[in-house]
Structure 1
């Protein structure tokens, strides 16, 4: 897969990289990828396909009621592999399991995405309007996505892993969302990650940097 550069996404990324809301900060990132395989992608795709088929075979042998029907379709497996390959490009240091990832992908519609966006990005949208009069953030996002992946032809997925099974949550994160806009005809995916972080992140695990400095002073007075 190949990272694609698009000016409409750059404009949004420049705004979303740091939206300061006082004690909180909104961060967002849009990335576009071509689904055309590179050499490493072909090998990884082959490995993921075998992982899925092996899972289907074991599930059908051990539990006939196992919910693997969607993975039995070649088209569904291909879509899942594209999504997982995209995850690998987003987080190259993390090892994703296709079967495990499948559990966390959810089909979405534009309306369900819009509901989440309107709820969680309300304050960021107000900040955007302050410097972009007459152009709502969601409308600008829709136009950019439509230009890159043609939203009317897109399948939309959200990815919501458990907090302990993914690299998504940064330190101080209050909430986080990851969406995939996949156009099967164009063989193109746009990812949209947005999260809310606490600006009080300097206080972690119950102590601050000042506490650490105090500890150093104490140990400096001790004979070792």
Structure 2
């Protein structure tokens, strides 16, 4: 996977890098990747494929995968591997297993994405409108995403792991969302990740984690891995 720089995403990413909502801080990012292998991706892709095949060999007789499962066909397994490779680039400190991770991916419709947005992003929407002459953050996001990856041609996936598999929640976040827009024709994936952290929870987490005698770092440093 190769990180792709796109100017249409810059203003949105600058805004989402730190949105102060009073008691909470919201942070998010849009990132685009080419699905072409780069660096260690080819070796990791082969390893993930073998892991999946071994798992299927052991489990098919017990419980055959459904047609919607990301392990059910060679094409869907290839999609899963691309999604995992993208996660690896987004969260380089985590090791994502194909067998465990596939349970947390789900193909979504646009209505589900918009419902997620309305549930979690309305306060950020208000902040954006105040600073952008009333423009809609959602509409600006969709225009930028469309310019990069052509929305009409995309499959949309959400990634909703348990607590142990969620990098954001391990950093004290209240909630996090991860969506992936996959254009099979362009061989390109665009990810949208966002988290909301309670300032109170963050203070408690820092108090538990920082040893005596060490200075507390600025909260923004805790999200250093949001930048490439």
TM-score, normalised by the number of residues in structure 1: 0.87
Contact 1:105-1:159 within 8 A present in 2 as well: yes
CA distance in 1, matches of 2:74, 2:145: 27
Matches within 5 A, 1:170-189: 170-189=170-189
1:51 is matched with which residue? 51
CA distance in 1, matches of 2:51, 2:66: 13
CA distance in 1, matches of 2:7, 2:145: 11
- Deviation (angstroms), 1:91: 1.3
Q: 1:205 to 1:128 in 2, by over 3 A?
A: closer
Contact 2:19-2:27 within 8 A present in 1 as well: yes
1:82 is matched with which residue? 82
- Deviation (angstroms), 1:118: 1.3
Report whether the alignment pairs 1:150 with 2:160. no
Runs of 4+ with >4 A deviation: 205-209
Contact 1:56-1:68 within 8 A present in 2 as well: no
Across the aligned residues of Structure 1 and Structure 2, the Cα RMSD in angstroms comes to: 1.9
Matches within 5 A, 1:116-131: 116-131=116-131
Q: Number of residues paired by the alignment? A: 209
Task: Give the SS at the match of 2:163.
Answer: coil
1:164 is matched with which residue? 164
1:35 is matched with which residue? 35
- The answer for unaligned runs of 5 or more in structure 2 is 214-228
1:21 is matched with which residue? 21
Task: Give the SS at the match of 1:173.
Answer: coil
Contact 2:164-2:170 within 8 A present in 1 as well: no
CA distance in 2, matches of 1:42, 1:207: 40
Q: 1:132 to 1:120 in 2, by over 3 A?
A: same
TM-score, normalised by the number of residues in structure 2: 0.86
CA distance in 2, matches of 1:208, 1:84: 29
Q: 1:44 to 1:21 in 2, by over 3 A?
A: same
CA distance in 1, matches of 2:209, 2:170: 18
- The answer for unaligned runs of 5 or more in structure 1 is 214-224
CA distance in 2, matches of 1:134, 1:114: 19
CA distance in 2, matches of 1:109, 1:198: 29
- Deviation (angstroms), 1:208: 11
Report whether the alignment pairs 1:73 with 2:73. yes
Contact 2:65-2:72 within 8 A present in 1 as well: no
